[in-house]
Chain A
Amino acid sequence: MKYYIDTLKGVMVTTRHLVKNVLRREKAGVVTVEYPEKKLTYRPNFRGLHRLTRRPDGTPKCVACFMCETVCPAYCIHIEAEESPDGRIEKRPKVFVIDELRCVVCGLCVEACPEDAIRMDTAVHPPPATGRDEFLYERDVLMSHKGAGPEPPAASGGGRRR
């Protein structure tokens, strides 16, 4: 007999939830966001796909200092440096590849960058692909990603590199 009573008690709880979910959907928070047509907005500090930021003239802010490659705990960044034609900046990345499959989305690279050149504020995730090499995101691809939300105040290298 107790089994029936307990079941009834349980049904009362679930019915209460059902009524609330049906009649007061917004308050209950059971609205399904129809992804991908509608997306949840992420906050600016959400860690998504990487992007390389640009200076006002479109060149990458990155000066290939290797801080991100050094600090990445998953060893997913590979950089090669070269001379920059701009004498004030001197250095720029010839090769900048991030293996997004290896990436553990920890954000240590953003923390380590002394030039505000790499960010993870794109509010998107690496899209699915059919091969592992498609997850090797190269410099130009990374520069083409857009940041979501308002740009943080511009702050790049000190002195003459500004």
Chain B
Amino acid sequence: MNDASDYTTHEMVLNMGPSHPATHGIIRMLATLDGERVRDVDIQVGYLHRAFEKMSESIRWQQVFPYTDRLNYVSPLMNNVGYAMAVEKLLGIDVPERTQYIRMIACEISRLCDHLTCVGPGAMELGAFTAFLYCIEARDWLWDLIERQTGARVTPAYVRIGGLAADVDDDYCANVGKVLDKIQPLIDDIDKLLTGNQVFLDRMKGIGVLSAADAIDLGLTGPLLRAAGVRHDLRKARPYMFYDRVDFDVPIGTSGDNYDRYLVRMEEMRQSVRILRQLIADVPEGPINVENTGIVLPEKRDVYETIEGAANHFMLILDGIKVPAGEAYCATEAANGELGFYVVSDGSGRPLKCRVRGPSFVHMQALKFMVMGSLLSDVVPTFGMLNMIGGECDR
């Protein structure tokens, strides 16, 4: 095609964002273009910064949970669990087995939601609207599940320090099974629409390549890292909760391009379904909260009827949970990668610091290397497959 050497050309700076119909998430990319080729891209994040970390310093430990919902807002239960695990590490307590199982189920359901939200809009930006709607349909069933259980679809605030806000119903596991039965064929359909499709392959294969070495250097984790060929999943490398009790595989890509990222996510969805089927068959009976009057609110009956319950309830709410002074970092394998919570306590009922290591924020530095030299229209699927969730990136 036309080569720039035939004409006198200038490079143009094109502003994509912060709101742009083809990117999902609030981000501003200033692409310096030579014709259609991207010569440089300046990525500006922070448009969704809501001062989560600063707010956490002025509220009590338990009040942070609604804020964590709004970090990675497409997989909120994972954020709840991550934060709770970090504080429980600092408290030095172990939650009961039943709670671990329910939390794991919640995490895997959230992972499904997240991957559906990545693949769907990713495909939609390339024009595959039907695949997007199938993803939304599947996600809606999952949200119905979450709504039945926690009372809200997208902002559940379901986890508590030392346990959960409420126990699951008796038919919860059966319901999860039914939803999985509906989702599995839908994932297969999405697969059929996209995976072998030549148009899709043309747009995704060989685009946005990042080598394994580069991926590690840039701090990538999660599906992006695995698509580049690095075998690293915190659920296998440092199993937490009971991930060492369930059988699942971790899909690894080969070329680190957008297509591999898509395939990794699709396969991870299938593996999440596999994990979920094992978990729901196995949830043990038992209490859902650790037994500790310094951490867990007493049963409502005790609060209404006994003075000890009322006093306990009051002290936990007005003082907050007294977390011993110290610091703890707890990382989980969230849908996007390593989601870390670094909490510091000064012994009082409010966090001294609650830092979130959001994988999306780290991944944004890799975007530049992925799109350099590619066409402008390749920025769209690359950014889509990065799955930058604004709440997690900017906090």
Contact = CB atoms under 8 A, between A and B. Distances in A.
Interface of A: 2-3, 6, 9-10, 13-14, 17, 42-43, 45-47, 67, 70-71, 73-74, 104-108, 111-112, 114-116, 120, 155-158
A17 B131 CA distance: 12
Contacts of B373: none
Given A13-B192, A45-B151, A158 B305 contact: yes
B307 A158 contact: yes
Given A45-B151, A46-B147, A155 B189 contact: no
A3 B200 CA distance: 10
A13 B62 contact: no
B369 to A, nearest CB: 31
B63 A155 contact: no
Residue among B147, B198, B317, B318 with max Cβ neighbours from chain A (10 Å): B317
Nearest to B64: A73
Nearest to A155: B304
A107 B314 contact: no
A155 B300 contact: yes
Contacts of B130: 10, 14
Contacts of A6: 196-199
B314 A158 contact: no
A73 B59 contact: yes
Nearest to A48: B151
A158 B306 CA distance: 7
B304 A157 contact: yes
B301 A155 contact: yes
Interface SS, A side? loop
A153 to B, nearest CB: 9
Contact of A105 (B63, B155, B165, B193): B155
Given A67-B314, A114-B314, A47 B151 contact: yes
A158 B310 contact: yes
* Max chain A Cβ within 10 angstroms of own Cβ: one of B69, B150, B197, B301: B197
Contact of A111 (B165, B197, B307): B165
B17 interface: no
Contact of A114 (B148, B196, B199, B303): B303
Contact of B198 (A2, A43, A47, A108): A2
Nearest to A3: B198
B174 interface: no
Those 6 A-B pairs whose CB atoms lie nearest each other, nearest first: A106-B66, A73-B63, A45-B151, A47-B151, A6-B197, A155-B304
Given A43-B148, A104-B66, A108-B63, A71 B155 contact: no
A9 B60 CA distance: 55
